[in-house]
Structure 1
């Protein structure tokens, strides 16, 4: 007999509580009723509730996250305890054989753990994911599960997602939905206006992605008196060749500093005599600003190249970054 499992990922004080070391804030706190409801539904159906949770050692020199984030989810600390109502729920159900909490030390709940064996031994063949952080641990777990051929869903329903937009839909307010083609903008709008007035299509069978359906702009009025504008999805977003000139105008500070670099083709990475890096070290230029400049400059360089030329440019850029610059002789 096959089963389903709900994975509640990293829903701890450090990630959710306002005083947590890496709190995701109110959005993370607001989903706790949905998480508890889902957990109860899964147990009532005879399915499983699994709680993969980070476990870290402070200042671990061998763990890559030590250099990326402040200490969090440390063993035997308040920060690693489950947040609020979930802590109470777990205390009540932790002896249930269908409830399984375990430690992980990487983003994915499958990395360095027995999760895959646990699922297959119990004939669990479909997973529902929820928790935090959506763009890191939940995302990495989803990718791992997909590569292991587990069908996936998320804990959010369309109506739950729609409810988060209501504070913005006051009388007379205009709201526009913009995004990639086929991601579900029109489906969400239908939930907000409570009637299927916007044409939608099902997902494609070959890749489980949405179909491009909306082909014109249209405005719909909600019960609260707000207006929502649906727009055709963007199939591609890129930069034009003229952006190279625009970058020099927007980032005049970096362009000016770069004139004092020792090498004319300085990439502002680790080259000796880099005036841009010196400004960052001195605190007169933010590292984030240079990172933004580099990303946009690369996009501008690639904008007029063919796919093959882009790949060649990427290889050339990679090899260039591996070269050791000669030091200036005194």
Structure 2
């Protein structure tokens, strides 16, 4: 029994073409640009949504159509970040179509979604950070050595969680005080490693062989001898925060945030922090410029050639 009228051949062909174009773009993200499976799934969801909103040929889409779609999503109550992500996926996809001469122009070029405030992790001050990094005395010595090395490295070098778990032994140069990491978009960078982190890493590497399988190149391994996973690191970092008695949940990104905030407070060098964090653009790094006015005034007075040296009321 038929469940309904079949779509016309033209519509079926258009659907097949849409699917093929999206599949080619997702393959490009995976194989050429090196995006993670999580990112590719997000693109896939947004482009499937775009396909539901526009069933005609891609080259019929105009900038006005994309603005209308963005407005429709906003009226339906979609979060500003979701709309921004949707438009970003559409821009990337259409740019790929233009590059391969399947569209004459990118209808989403220059189109930005509604602005959304960026939530920052609650600050860890220097004392809280030192508290979190206090070595554990009640753990198995090997477990304690590994966890301490992970904690110290996260704070010392501001690594992302995936960068930490992706480290291989060949990425460490402790004599030079550097670690090589592979960040987002497969961008490689070298980051300094502080003295405390170097000491913790050397201590861990002395006993790592008790756990690591012979063919495992990962710096950090589980008790089973394999590369440690992201979830396991998150659990161990949270446990360290509980053991230290912190009143906030400790997680890897909070240590990365503390690294950036503390370094910015002491140096004021946003460009250098951008490089250390592996941010592709300065706008991303600027979420860390949440210093209080007193500190900003001190930096300004010390650095700007036309700064007033006396900020007391009534003096001009």
With structure 1 as the length reference, what TM-score do the two structures score? 0.29
Q: TM-score, normalised by structure 2?
A: 0.30
Higher strand share: 1
More helix by share: 2
